[in-house]
Protein backbone atom coordinates (compact mmCIF):
# COMPACT_ATOMS: atom_id res chain seq x y z
CA UNK A 1 0.00 0.00 0.00
CA UNK A 2 2.81 2.38 0.89
CA UNK A 3 4.46 1.71 -2.50
CA UNK A 4 1.23 2.57 -4.30
CA UNK A 5 0.88 5.87 -2.42
CA UNK A 6 4.51 6.71 -3.21
CA UNK A 7 4.04 5.85 -6.88
CA UNK A 8 0.93 8.04 -7.10
CA UNK A 9 2.74 10.92 -5.37
CA UNK A 10 5.66 10.62 -7.79
CA UNK A 11 3.29 10.46 -10.76
CA UNK A 12 1.42 13.60 -9.70
CA UNK A 13 4.70 15.34 -8.90
CA UNK A 14 6.03 14.57 -12.38
CA UNK A 15 2.80 15.78 -13.98
CA UNK A 16 2.91 19.02 -12.00
CA UNK A 17 6.51 19.70 -12.98
CA UNK A 18 5.64 19.15 -16.65
CA UNK A 19 3.07 21.96 -16.54
CA UNK A 20 4.12 25.31 -17.99
CA UNK A 21 5.37 27.74 -15.40
CA UNK A 22 4.97 31.47 -15.31
CA UNK A 23 2.33 34.08 -15.80
CA UNK A 24 -0.29 33.72 -18.52
CA UNK A 25 -2.64 36.37 -19.86
CA UNK A 26 -5.63 35.57 -22.07
CA UNK A 27 -5.16 38.87 -23.89
CA UNK A 28 -1.37 38.88 -23.88
CA UNK A 29 0.86 41.55 -22.40
CA UNK A 30 1.57 45.18 -23.19
CA UNK A 31 5.12 46.50 -22.99
CA UNK A 32 5.79 50.23 -22.80
CA UNK A 33 9.16 52.01 -22.76
CA UNK A 34 10.22 55.55 -22.02
CA UNK A 35 13.31 57.55 -21.15
CA UNK A 36 13.55 59.82 -18.13
CA UNK A 37 16.54 61.35 -16.35
CA UNK A 38 18.94 59.61 -18.73
CA UNK A 39 17.56 56.13 -18.00
CA UNK A 40 15.24 53.73 -19.81
CA UNK A 41 12.14 52.52 -18.02
CA UNK A 42 9.65 49.86 -19.00
CA UNK A 43 6.25 48.66 -17.97
CA UNK A 44 4.84 45.19 -18.63
CA UNK A 45 1.11 45.06 -17.95
CA UNK A 46 -1.57 42.50 -18.66
CA UNK A 47 -3.43 43.11 -21.90
CA UNK A 48 -7.01 44.34 -21.92
CA UNK A 49 -9.48 45.73 -24.45
CA UNK A 50 -8.98 49.27 -23.25
CA UNK A 51 -6.22 51.85 -23.31
CA UNK A 52 -4.16 52.15 -20.14
CA UNK A 53 -3.88 55.37 -18.18
CA UNK A 54 -0.54 56.99 -17.44
CA UNK A 55 -0.89 55.91 -13.81
CA UNK A 56 -1.44 52.27 -14.77
CA UNK A 57 1.57 52.21 -17.06
CA UNK A 58 4.05 54.11 -14.93
CA UNK A 59 2.78 52.50 -11.71
CA UNK A 60 4.20 49.20 -12.95
CA UNK A 61 7.57 50.81 -13.74
CA UNK A 62 10.55 48.54 -14.37
CA UNK A 63 13.92 50.25 -13.93
CA UNK A 64 16.23 49.33 -16.81
CA UNK A 65 16.78 46.50 -19.25
CA UNK A 66 18.18 44.03 -16.68
CA UNK A 67 15.03 44.27 -14.55
CA UNK A 68 12.86 43.91 -17.65
CA UNK A 69 14.76 40.79 -18.70
CA UNK A 70 14.19 39.31 -15.24
CA UNK A 71 10.47 40.14 -15.41
CA UNK A 72 10.20 38.48 -18.83
CA UNK A 73 11.44 35.18 -17.38
CA UNK A 74 8.24 35.06 -15.30
CA UNK A 75 6.04 34.71 -18.40
CA UNK A 76 4.99 31.41 -19.97
CA UNK A 77 6.54 30.27 -23.22
CA UNK A 78 4.39 31.41 -26.14
CA UNK A 79 3.01 34.52 -24.43
CA UNK A 80 2.35 37.44 -26.77
CA UNK A 81 3.67 40.92 -26.02
CA UNK A 82 2.53 44.06 -27.83
CA UNK A 83 5.28 46.65 -27.55
CA UNK A 84 3.36 49.90 -27.74
CA UNK A 85 4.42 53.47 -28.03
CA UNK A 86 1.57 54.59 -25.81
CA UNK A 87 0.95 57.45 -28.22
CA UNK A 88 -2.43 58.04 -26.55
CA UNK A 89 -0.72 58.87 -23.24
CA UNK A 90 1.66 61.77 -22.62
CA UNK A 91 4.31 61.78 -19.92
CA UNK A 92 5.87 64.88 -18.40
CA UNK A 93 8.68 64.62 -20.94
CA UNK A 94 6.66 63.55 -23.99
CA UNK A 95 5.23 60.30 -25.24
CA UNK A 96 6.47 56.78 -24.73
CA UNK A 97 9.15 55.69 -27.19
CA UNK A 98 11.13 52.69 -28.31
CA UNK A 99 14.71 52.60 -27.05
CA UNK A 100 17.68 52.78 -29.44
CA UNK A 101 18.32 49.77 -31.66
CA UNK A 102 20.97 48.07 -29.46
CA UNK A 103 18.64 48.07 -26.44
CA UNK A 104 15.62 47.08 -28.52
CA UNK A 105 17.55 44.22 -30.13
CA UNK A 106 18.75 43.00 -26.73
CA UNK A 107 15.16 42.84 -25.49
CA UNK A 108 13.87 41.17 -28.66
CA UNK A 109 16.68 38.60 -28.52
CA UNK A 110 15.89 37.82 -24.88
CA UNK A 111 12.20 37.43 -25.71
CA UNK A 112 13.02 35.06 -28.58
CA UNK A 113 15.21 32.92 -26.29
CA UNK A 114 12.36 32.76 -23.78
CA UNK A 115 9.84 31.81 -26.47
CA UNK A 116 7.90 35.06 -26.19
CA UNK A 117 6.26 36.65 -29.24
CA UNK A 118 6.75 40.42 -29.52
CA UNK A 119 4.86 42.61 -31.95
CA UNK A 120 5.05 46.39 -32.33
CA UNK A 121 1.87 48.34 -31.65
CA UNK A 122 0.93 51.99 -31.62
pLDDT in tens, 67-110: 999 999 999 999 999 997 655 555 555 568 889 999 999 999 99
Work out the end-to-end distance of the chain between its first and last CA atoms, rounded to an integer number of angstroms.
61
pLDDT for 6 beyond 80: no
pLDDT in tens, 44-67: 999 888 888 888 888 889 999 999
Q: Which residue has the higher pLDDT, 8 or 109?
A: 109
Identify the helix (H) or strand (E) that includes residue 112. helix 101-114
Q: How far apart are CA 65 and CA 42, in angstroms?
A: 8
What pTM does this model have?
A: 0.74
pLDDT at 54: 84
Share of the chain above pLDDT 90, in %: 45
Confidence of residue 122 (pLDDT cuts 50, 70, 90): low
Looking at every residue in the chain, the average pLDDT score rounds to 79
Contacts of 62 (CB under 8 A, 6+ apart): 41, 42, 43, 44, 68, 71
Amino acid sequence: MRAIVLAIALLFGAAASAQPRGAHSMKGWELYSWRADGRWYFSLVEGTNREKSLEEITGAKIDGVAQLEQKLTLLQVGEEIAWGTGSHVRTKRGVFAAPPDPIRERILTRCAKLGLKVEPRN
